[in-house]
Structure 1
Amino acid sequence: MLAIALIVALSILPSVLYMVWFRNSEKYERERWRPLIGIFLWGAFGGVALALILEVILEELLPLDAVDSLVYPGFFIAAVIAPIIEEFAKPLGLRFVRREINEVEDGLIYGAAAGLGFAAIESLGYSLSSGIPVAILRAVISTPVHAGMAALTGYGMALVLVKKRSGWVLMGCYVCAVVIHGISNFFIGWAGSSEKVGIILASIAIELAAVIGLVVFVRKRIKRLDSKRPYLSPAGRLLPRAAGAGGTSRVLLCEQVGCGASGRG
């Protein structure tokens, strides 16, 4: 019983802590908890369910027998099929909170939340069948990697919604997430199927590099974008987050018409 409780904690708690950390990386106009938790739950349940359904369908439709064991057993599904489907399913829920995305960094935060919800349930499933060591490994590697990859697609979506960039920008961010996911899964599978210490150590090193790179990129990008627009009144007071007509934030209205120290026009 204690082992199960520990596995549950190791699977879910890191995702929650990362979500809080990314959310609090913003100094101004932080995201509201309700939609953020909603996106986390989408990733945990909607994203996981959709990914499972699509993966089963594709495995039935595509002739994978010839290529799935090309490098190691399960290679094609892990390194190609799963990344394409999961990086589509995780951030799909951002469409439900698109009115909340009025800054580019919002896409990074909501995308990360979706990825973290997905990682929590996926880690729980793997760890309950494989034990505490897998739970620890996934908490250290898989959880932040899932967050970072989904954040990339969320970033692309925010660029389209906020900056009115081309849909190709979103597609490019999605492709980047898929490629990183594919490389990550490839090395995880390679390490798991190999008995050579060198391959295992090299795979772990690559995974840790991916973790550090993605986490640093997402957090620094959030902070940098947030710092470019200090949400302060002319008197230097922090303006509250509030939505105006058409989803325009009160901050933006204040910038357009000018606000006094109270934040009112």
Structure 2
Amino acid sequence: MDLEVLWTVTLLILVAFIPTIAFMAWFRATGKRIREPWSVVILSYLFGAIGAIIIALVLEMVAMGLLSSPVVREYDIFALDPTAFTFVMVIVVAPIVEEAAKALGVSKSMTRALGTPRSGLVLGAAAGLGFAATENLLYEGGALMEGGVSAFIAIAVVRTFSSALMHASATSVSGYGIAKSSLGGGSWLPYYLLAVLMHASFNLFASFGELFKGTLGETAALIGLIFAFILVIASVSWTRRRISALS
């Protein structure tokens, strides 16, 4: 492998994974007393980074195949094909599939062993951040190859502080439901559906630029970005407050 290529790949991996690992430690450190074992937190993170990504890709490929469409993932699909079909894929299919895949990183046996609903929030955030790290690696690598360094930096900054934290907070909600269910607190399904709604709302806001470019011009993308960040800030704030309250 060429030395320049090796350095580039290393840089991409570091930029994608280091921020999400830092966020994972930040969520785990929330509160005063309880701390989940690092081994369990890292296991959830790795499942999100590898297992959940594979599951989501396979299921999304199946969905695309059934609907006779080429596989194009996430909200930038609108830039290529701004149709009702792509809207459904981005706003409905992707959130349902990805939140289900990530939630598998928070097993009932894990949360039952740890014995607190807090563990579901932390492990859910870890699984979501692992998923986000691999997803960011793919997006940021594509941005570097297609748009150069400036595009890479822009995508890396925006995705690190928006979609990565969205994945963390959405899956923490699913994890919270799974933990409560494992401890006799009812069904996890409403929490999963709330996570899907959060994810779908984020994708909708992130798609504003393409959806409303005809009527709002370039302002549409800025409006969408602002709403996306508001959603992320509110979601992360709720997650950390809940983790702290359960500590």
TM-score normalised by the shorter chain: which range applies?
A: 0.7 to 0.9
Mapped to 1, the partners of 2:210 and 2:236 lie a distance apart of 24
Equivalent runs, 1:123-162 vs 2, <5 Å = 123-131=136-144, 132=152, 133-162=154-183
Structure 1 position 97, deviation (Å): 2.3
Would the alpha carbon gap of residues 114 and 177 (structure 1) be closer, same or farther in structure 2, given more than 3 Å must change?
A: same
Contact 1:151-1:218 within 8 A present in 2 as well: yes
Larger RCO, structure (CA 8 Å, separation 6 or more): 2
Contact 2:121-2:175 within 8 A present in 1 as well: yes
Contact 1:153-1:173 within 8 A present in 2 as well: yes
Q: SS where residue 74 of structure 1 aligns? A: helix
Amino acid at match of 1:166: G
1:182 matched to 2:195? The reply is: no
Equivalent runs, 1:91-130 vs 2, <5 Å = 91-95=103-107, 97-130=110-143
Q: Which has the higher helix share?
A: 2
For residues 223-252 of structure 1, the C-alpha deviation after alignment (integer angstroms, 9 at most, x for no partner) is 0111xxxxxxxxxxxxxxxxxxxxxxxxxx
Q: SS where residue 31 of structure 1 aligns? A: coil
For residues 25-84 of structure 1, the C-alpha deviation after alignment (integer angstroms, 9 at most, x for no partner) is 13223100111101100000000000001111111224679xx96757732211111000
**Which is worse superposed, 175-184 or 109-118?**
175-184
Structure 1 position 201, deviation (Å): 1.2
Contact 1:119-1:143 within 8 A present in 2 as well: yes
1:14 matched to 2:14? The reply is: no
1:58 matched to 2:63? The reply is: yes
Would the alpha carbon gap of residues 54 and 73 (structure 1) be closer, same or farther in structure 2, given more than 3 Å must change?
A: closer
Contact 1:101-1:158 within 8 A present in 2 as well: no
For residues 78-99 of structure 1, the C-alpha deviation after alignment (integer angstroms, 9 at most, x for no partner) is 1111000000000112116234
Q: SS where residue 124 of structure 1 aligns? A: helix
Would the alpha carbon gap of residues 70 and 200 (structure 1) be closer, same or farther in structure 2, given more than 3 Å must change?
A: closer
Structure 1 position 179, deviation (Å): 1.0
Paired residues, what number? Answer: 221
Q: 2:35 aligns with which of 30, 36, 43?
A: 30
Structure 1 position 19, deviation (Å): 0.5
Contact 2:106-2:124 within 8 A present in 1 as well: yes
Partner of 2:230: 209
Amino acid at match of 2:240: R
Equivalent runs, 1:225-236 vs 2, <5 Å = 225-226=246-247
TM-score (norm 1): 0.77
Amino acid at match of 2:191: C
Q: CA RMSD in A?
A: 2.2
Would the alpha carbon gap of residues 106 and 63 (structure 1) be closer, same or farther in structure 2, given more than 3 Å must change?
A: same
User: Among the aligned pairs, what percent are the same residue?
Assistant: 32
Contact 1:101-1:161 within 8 A present in 2 as well: no
Mapped to 2, the partners of 1:166 and 1:71 lie a distance apart of 39
Q: SS where residue 106 of structure 2 aligns? A: helix
Larger-Rg structure: 1
